[in-house]
Every structure is written in C-alpha cells, then in structure tokens.
C-alpha cells in the first residue's frame, strides 16, 4: 500500500464516526444525507481497487455498528459502492466532476439497493414505493450534492496526512536527519 492510499483510508476511517454524528444531529432520519456512502465512493475514487473494497467494507461495518442495523448489510453495500467507484474511475476521466458525480450516483444507488435486498432477505421488509420515494431519491440527490465537497476534503486531508508520514527507504531517513 502506498502512502496516498493509506492516508486516504485513514482519513475516511477517522471521519466516519464524525460523519455519523453529523447525520444523527443535523440531518433528518429519513431523506437525509448518507455521508459514509459518500466517503466510500471517495475512497473508491482515490484509492486502488483492491484497497477500496476492504475500506468500503470497514466504513459500512462502522455504520452497521453505530446504527445497530442488520450487521453486514451496509458493510457489503459500501464495499460494492467503493468498488464501483474505483471501476468507474478507470473508465472515465478521473479529473472530471461529472465523472465523480456519476460514480457517486451509481455507488449510492448500488449501496441503497443492495442494503434493501439484504434487509429483505433477513425478513426486514421496506415497501418499494416508500423505499424509492423516501430513501433512494433523497439519497441520490444528496450524493450528487456532496461528492464534490467530500472528495475535495478527503483528498486535501489525505495529502496532509501523507506529508506527515515519513517516507520509507533512504530518502526518508535522510530527510529525517
């Protein structure tokens, strides 16, 4: 793992509890933003595919534990959202805001539908009209609105964290002296 991937994942994991706190305090329970899903998409966009998948899983596991939801439902969903963002990044222009917005919309949609399916398989039924109107549409709109600021914040914080970590090898030892 290179320092950039490590710092992006570390920043996302540090921001995860703060994001859930903001969601609980400042956002409505239904129709509010899902900041952790946005963080998972950012991790997928900024990291290598093989690091994005487990990082998205851990972010989802944090959400499952904090919200006392069906354990693993968001973990699997956010892992797939991070994976999808990493795949989209490899196909589209990684510097384009519209590409990031497409990745956020796709990742959020996949995460919401996977969670809905997992909950349904566990006997937790959510009516389709309610899910579409009250969960998926607001979630999709929030993902489009938040991906730019989230991506910017995570990238800047990760660059700062990467600069703090000492680099490995001879150059790192020479710089420390």
pLDDT value of residue 72: 84
The reported pTM is 0.86
- CA separation, residue 125 to residues 14, 37, 75, 118, 160 (Å): 32, 22, 19, 10, 44
pLDDT value of residue 168: 59
pLDDT value of residue 26: 81
Q: How far apart are CA 126 and CA 31, in angstroms?
A: 15
User: Are 175 and 167 contacting, i.e. CB atoms less than 8 angstroms apart?
Assistant: yes
Domain spans of the chain?
Answer: 3-164
Query: Can you tell me the mean pLDDT for 92-107?
Result: 93
pLDDT value of residue 103: 95
pLDDT value of residue 174: 37
Query: Can you tell me the mean pLDDT for 102-108?
Result: 95
- CA separation, residue 82 to residues 8, 56, 92, 117, 145 (Å): 13, 5, 15, 18, 18
Model pLDDT for residues 135-151, shown as the tens digit of each residue = 999 999 999 999 999 99
pLDDT value of residue 68: 77
pLDDT value of residue 23: 83
| CATH T-level assignment (fold) for domain 3-164 | Arp2/3 complex 21 kDa subunit ARPC3 (1.10.1760)
């Amino acid at each position: 793992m290179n320092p950039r991937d490590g710092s992006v994942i570390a920043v996302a994991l540090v921001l995860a509890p703060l994001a859930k706190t903001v969601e609980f305090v400042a956002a409505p329970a239904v129709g509010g933003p899902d900041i952790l899903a946005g963080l998972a998409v950012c991790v997928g966009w900024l990291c290598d595919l093989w690091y994005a998948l487990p990082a998205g899983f851990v972010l989802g596991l944090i959400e499952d534990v904090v919200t006392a939801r069906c354990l693993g439902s968001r973990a699997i969903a956010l892992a797939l959202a991070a994976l999808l963002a990493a795949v989209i990044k490899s196909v589209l222009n990684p510097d384009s805001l519209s590409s990031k917005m497409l990745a956020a919309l796709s990742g959020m949609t996949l995460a919401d539908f996977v969670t809905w399916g997992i909950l349904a398989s566990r006997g937790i039924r959510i009516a389709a009209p309610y899910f579409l109107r009250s969960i998926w549409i607001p979630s999709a709109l929030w993902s489009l609105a938040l991906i730019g600021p989230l991506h910017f914040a995570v990238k800047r914080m990760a660059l700062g964290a990467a600069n703090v970590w000492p680099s490995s090898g001879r150059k790192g030892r020479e710089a420390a002296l």
